């Protein structure tokens, strides 16, 4: 994987389906690797608004993300709450 948990990334893509978030900043919250092609990664990205607040969550391929060289402090956006799934 190219990006790490809590890394701040910029969405940069010509893909029509990413028009709404293109140019926005987000935080890597998770990622997955393709079972078919191990070179393909996709990331769970929390999209930030202009004030740095989380507005939305998207699943975005690595090729559409660029590093900002910064990491987010999890204490700023994690509540410590959890849920149990059965």
DSSP state of 26: E
CA distance 26 to 86: 30
Residue 85 tokens, joined:
């799934």
pLDDT in tens, 5-53: 999 999 999 999 999 999 999 999 999 999 999 999 999 999 999 998 9
Predicted confidence at residue 19, as pLDDT, reads 96
DSSP state of 25: E
Q: Which of 33, 43, 36 is nearest to 66 (CA)?
A: 43
């Amino acid at each position: 994987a190219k990006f790490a948990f809590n890394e701040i990334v910029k969405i940069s893509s010509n893909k029509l389906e990413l028009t709404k978030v293109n140019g926005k900043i987000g935080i890597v919250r998770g990622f997955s690797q393709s079972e078919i092609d191990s070179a393909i990664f996709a990331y769970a990205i929390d999209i930030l608004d202009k004030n740095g607040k989380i507005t939305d969550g998207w699943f975005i391929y690595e090729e559409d993300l660029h590093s900002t060289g910064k990491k987010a402090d999890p204490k700023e956006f994690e509540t410590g709450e959890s849920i149990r799934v059965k």
